[in-house]
Chains A and B, each alone.
Chain A
Amino acid sequence: MNLDVPISWYLLLSALLFSLGVVGFLIKRNLITIFMSIELMLNAVNLSFVAFASQWHEVKGQIFVFFVMVVAAAEAAVGLAIIIAVFRARATLAVDRIDRMKL
């Protein structure tokens, strides 16, 4: 097929998504949205793993993505539980008002 896509375009898309995730992490002021930006960054890295696995016909890259998915799911569960606990203690999700470690 003459309409194949270069691997570098996939990698550029991954870099763009990662940068957008970093931007979201920096500018958003809501705990949950910041957490979502982290998930976006994880997904961007997964895309580059899959692209490299396709480049070198190596299955280990895809297995790495599998493990990243498992850890991300566990992280999401624990992170959202922490967010619920923070909301119980502070009654807000705005990161500027959550500025003390003590209760």
Chain B
Amino acid sequence: MHLVLFFLFAGFCLAGAVNLLVQSHPINSALSLIVVMVSLAVLYLLLGAEFLAIAQIIVYAGAVMVLFTFVVMLLNDGREELTYGSHVARSVGFPAVVAIFAVIATVILRAEGLGYAHLGAGLNAAQGLGTAKDNSNLVVLSQVLFHELLLPFEVTSVLILIAILGAVALAHSEGAERTVEK
């Protein structure tokens, strides 16, 4: 079951990522990125991170990607064209990326002590919180997040506030009003 789900959604993930690269229109890339993010949410579920799976769907596949598709449709710049720069990037970039992947894969495959992911193995038993039948890791996560890491959590809300102000200040330019007045 675990193996089948892993291969199914890992396949979806990789297919979506490759489709992101081969599509020439940004809207198709955005839709395939949504496929990648939803498949990643299922993989998070398999790894016993229920809260992150839901947050992945709501925050990434929901909010961030809606923002992306919104901007793609708003700007509507059409297909991308290949230029000299992209040929250079292809001929130099592919070997470099293959080298990066080879290094990472070597490190991973040589690493010792990596075990197996057990389906339904929550974090609760290890942390001594909750009962074994209580499968949700939300209890453990909130315990740490709201006690030990309360200050960083609050700082992120300030970060989001600054990001909102920055986004509004950047997207709302005075130049747009000037062209309207003309």
Contacts and interface: CB of A to CB of B under 8 A. Distances in A.
Nearest to A84: B171
Interface residues of A, number: 75
B160 A73 contact: yes
B29 interface: yes
Interface size class for chain B? 35 or more
A13 B118 contact: no
A7 B33 contact: no
Given A17-B14, A62-B49, A5 B117 contact: yes
Contacts of B145: 63, 66
Contacts of B82: 29
A33 B80 contact: yes
Interface string B29-49: 110010011001001101111
B20 A36 contact: yes
B71 A84 contact: yes
B167 A80 contact: yes
Overall SS of chain B's interface = helix
Interface string B138-182: 001100110001001000100110111011111101011000000
Contact of A40 (B20, B44, B105, B123): B20
B99 to A, nearest CB: 10
B1 A28 contact: no
B100 A19 contact: yes
A70 B110 CA distance: 33
Contact of B117 (A51, A67, A87): A51
Nearest to B72: A32
A3 B71 contact: no
Given A36-B20, A65-B49, 15 more contacts: A16-B17, A17-B13, A19-B97, A22-B100, A33-B20, A35-B68, A47-B40, A50-B43, A53-B47, A55-B115, A55-B117, A59-B144, A63-B145, A66-B51, A88-B173
9 closest Cβ pairs, A-B complex: A57-B126, A74-B163, A26-B93, A81-B170, A4-B116, A81-B167, A30-B80, A81-B171, A19-B101
Interface of A: 1, 3-13, 15-24, 26-30, 32-33, 35-37, 39-40, 43, 46-47, 50-51, 53-55, 57-60, 62-63, 65-67, 69-78, 80-85, 87-89, 92-96
